[in-house]
Amino acid sequence: MSFPDVESLLAMISLTSKRSQQFTESVIREMTRLAILHNAVNLSQGFPDYDPPEEMLEAAIRAIREGYNQYAITWGTKNLRQAIAKKTTELQGIPVDPETEITVTCGSTEAMIASLLGIIDPDEEVIIFEPFYENYGPDTILSNATPRYVTLRSPVPVSTGNRKDKGQHWTFDPVELEAAFNVKTKAIILNTPNNPTGKVFTREELESIAKFCQKWDVLAVTDEIYEHILYDGLEHVRMATLPGMQERTITINAISKTYSATGWRVGWAIAPAPITASIRKVHDFLTVGAPHPLQEAAAVALRLPSTYYDKLATDYGNRREFLLNTLLDAGFKCWKPFGAYYIMTDFSEVAEKQGLKGKTDAQFAEWLVREIGVAAVPGSSFYREASLGRSQVRFSFGRKMETLKEAEKRLSRLKR
């Protein structure tokens, strides 16, 4: 195809929907493309570079061989829904009905958008904590919601001088939170453990959110995909377990991070039966269903013993220490994460030393991937107001130790 002139290009763009014009392609996923292009160590997009547990791989192969190759029930195979219900009931201490309260989706990404499309009417508002995981912005636009942001305030970051500190937590102002609720508010999106900050919401914080949800008749949509990736003995509190919240919480999760299978696209949403009925309808017409054989294998994963989760957290804890020290040595200021597998950093001093003062986060990330051979995500992709993330980049340590060591080797060039 020959290159069209500017007028034809603009005419073609005018044929696309106003909705799709309001957001760009994912910066996180674009960084993975750039990492491949420059043969860089990819610490941008959050996915592990190792395989899921052996039992899962065998189960998937078996399922394909044994004929699980056609559509499953649209809202998920019975086997997987039962496994999700059992595990969730054990963790939450509240029963979950696999027949009426679970929708299996194509990853948590679909669980989130199907949930929002299932609950939001035009002009309704959704509260989002900022910085946020990139998808929530387009999710609200696609579901016709007006987002309202509540700021997560950054504590003093860790730097070489105080690297032994146990780190401080990101916080929010309860007054600002309260002010975000009004008669138009339909839902609040909550991600704990949090991407990109590594914040783990405390019980008290969740209680304060729950209080406003009940006062304003608002649903909590909680993305708990990092539930098993916690450090320093912190506890993951499930919003659905707080008094009065089970009936107004949609809990989203997936096998992606817990079982290192981001490419399988198997996730789920747990919600009270009438809300599940709505999510299931949207899900059915969006995707029909998640891959059938992989759902069967996911059911095997969900039945792994608790020692699996202990090891997962310990291994990620070691990787966190390693990458934290690597980044501090290279001159980044770091916000120590207490959960999930990302480190938000301030790169101002590195940029200054490298003669890159004044460069934006996107320019810095582009330079880092090209010249140093390490990919990170520009901070602005986690903020509605790009300037708030201008001096930040996010690194992921969901990688093999040998990958992190290669990154260390490359990043050590920044010390010079």
Kindly list the residues in this chain that would bind ligand GLN in the complex (CB under 6 A).
28-29, 45-46, 109, 133, 195
What is the 3-class SS of 173-230, one letter each residue? CHHHHHHHCCCCEEEEEEECCCCCCCCCCCHHHHHHHHHHHHHCCCEEEEECCCCCCE
Residue nearest to ligand GLN (CB): 46
Shortest distance, CB of residue 315 to ligand GLN, whole angstroms? 18
H helix runs in 96-194, sequence order = 107-119, 136-142, 174-180
Nearer to ligand GLN (CB atom), residue 29 or residue 311:
29
Nearer to ligand GLN (CB atom), residue 29 or residue 78:
29
- Tokens 């044929």 found at: 15
Q: What is the dihedral of CA 357, 358, 360, 361, to 10 degrees?
A: 40
Nearer to ligand GLN (CB atom), residue 195 or residue 251:
195
Q: What are phi and psi of 407, to 5 degrees?
A: -60, -40
Cα 276 to Cα 111, 247, 290: the distances in Å are: 11, 11, 16
Estimate to the nearest angstrom the gap between the alpha carbon of 256 and the chain centroid.
10
Q: Are 66 and 416 in contact (CB under 8 A)?
A: no
Shortest distance, CB of residue 112 to ligand GLN, whole angstroms? 10
Nearer to ligand GLN (CB atom), residue 109 or residue 391:
109
Q: How does DSSP assign 345-361, residue by residue?
A: EE-HHHHHHTT-TT--H
Q: Are 187 and 278 in contact (CB under 8 A)?
A: no
Shortest distance, CB of residue 226 to ligand GLN, whole angstroms? 9
Shortest distance, CB of residue 135 to ligand GLN, whole angstroms? 7
Shortest distance, CB of residue 126 to ligand GLN, whole angstroms? 19
Nearer to ligand GLN (CB atom), residue 98 or residue 137:
137
Alpha carbons 266 and 294: distance in angstroms, whole number:
7
Nearer to ligand GLN (CB atom), residue 103 or residue 109:
109
Shortest distance, CB of residue 45 to ligand GLN, whole angstroms? 4
Shortest distance, CB of residue 124 to ligand GLN, whole angstroms? 25
Shortest distance, CB of residue 340 to ligand GLN, whole angstroms? 9
Shortest distance, CB of residue 44 to ligand GLN, whole angstroms? 7
Nearer to ligand GLN (CB atom), residue 84 or residue 375:
375
Q: Which helix (H) or strand (E) holds 415?
A: none
Cis peptide leading into 131, omega within 30 of 0? yes
Nearer to ligand GLN (CB atom), residue 133 or residue 347:
133
Beta-strand pair 377-378/392-396 = antiparallel
Q: Are 206 and 239 in contact (CB under 8 A)?
A: yes
Nearer to ligand GLN (CB atom), residue 28 or residue 344:
28
